[in-house]
Amino acid sequence: MALLLRTVKLENKVPETICRVCHQVVVLSPTNFGWVHKGGGAYVQKCGKCGWIGGKIGSFQKCPKCGEHKRLVDDHCVRPQ
């Protein structure tokens, strides 16, 4: 079964769609990383202590909000619609 991606291409902007998991905007990376969350990361991380959720290229080693490192986990990988 072919996967069809619904994208919106705006003038001078990168294509974007919605992540099936978190329903946030994901964009097609201009640097060949494929689809990434708006913060630049393919993965979204979540802190089990304070509830922070976010991501970047690479991964955080500790929560940027509370500093916890043992309960910071990958929540999900980008899944474009």
Q: What is the pLDDT of residues 49-81, one digit of tens each?
A: 999 998 887 788 999 999 999 999 999 999 998
pLDDT for residue 48: 96
Residue 75 CA to residue 19 CA, distance in Å, equals 13
pTM value is 0.71
Q: Where are the domains of the chain?
A: 16-77
pLDDT for residue 1: 44
Q: What would the pLDDT profile of 2-41 be if each residue is shown by its tens digit? A: 444 554 444 557 789 999 999 999 999 877 778 998 877 8
Give the residue, 1 or 47, on which the prediction is more confident. Answer: 47
Residue 45 CA to residue 59 CA, distance in Å, equals 8
